Structure 1
Amino acid sequence: MLGLTLCLALAGVSTGASAKGCLKGAAAGGVAGHFLHHHGLVGAAAGCAVGHLHAKHQAARDTNATRHG
């Protein structure tokens, strides 16, 4: 729960796509971490980072598709 709260706080500072990726990643990572030896906080933090990276790459692909398509 603390990890999700932390990600929500950080998401408010980020841009829209980054926040979306962080929230989805934190939720999935928190659940997965909880079931793997009760490491929900670590899972949420890792999920937030991965989700942020994925959203950033997706936004770049969307921008390139708009420019070239």
Structure 2
Amino acid sequence: MTRTIAATVIALAALTAAGAAEAKGCLKGAVVGGIAGHYAGHHGLVGAAAGCAIGRHRANKQARQDSQTAPAPAAAH
């Protein structure tokens, strides 16, 4: 019971801490992680929390790559 409550608190904290730019990666990761955790021994909440963290990491990594490869805007005269 304590594990379930702790996992719920962690999952909710991870979901609410995600900003608008990171929410997409977190939500996708949480869905995939929750499903995987459910089928891997009924640990859906733990899977959702881990999936959120991984999704946020991947979204941040993709955003960094996109910002580095984006061409600089032309200067207006």
Normalised by the shorter chain, which TM-score bucket? 0.7 to 0.9
Matched, 1:6 2:22: no
Q: TM-score, normalised by structure 2?
A: 0.70
Asked whether the equivalents of residues 8 and 23 of structure 1 are also in contact (C-alpha less than 8 Å), the reply is no
Matched, 1:35 2:39: yes
1: CA distance, partners of 2:15 / 2:47: 17
Structure 2 runs not aligned, ≥5 long: 1-7, 73-77
Residue correspondences, number: 64
Which ranges of 4 or more aligned residues in structure 1 deviate by more than 4 Å? none
Larger Rg over CA atoms: 2
Shift of 1:26: 0.2
Structure 1 runs not aligned, ≥5 long: none
1: CA distance, partners of 2:56 / 2:40: 22
Shift of 1:15: 2.6
Identity in percent: 50
Structure 1 match to 2:67: 63
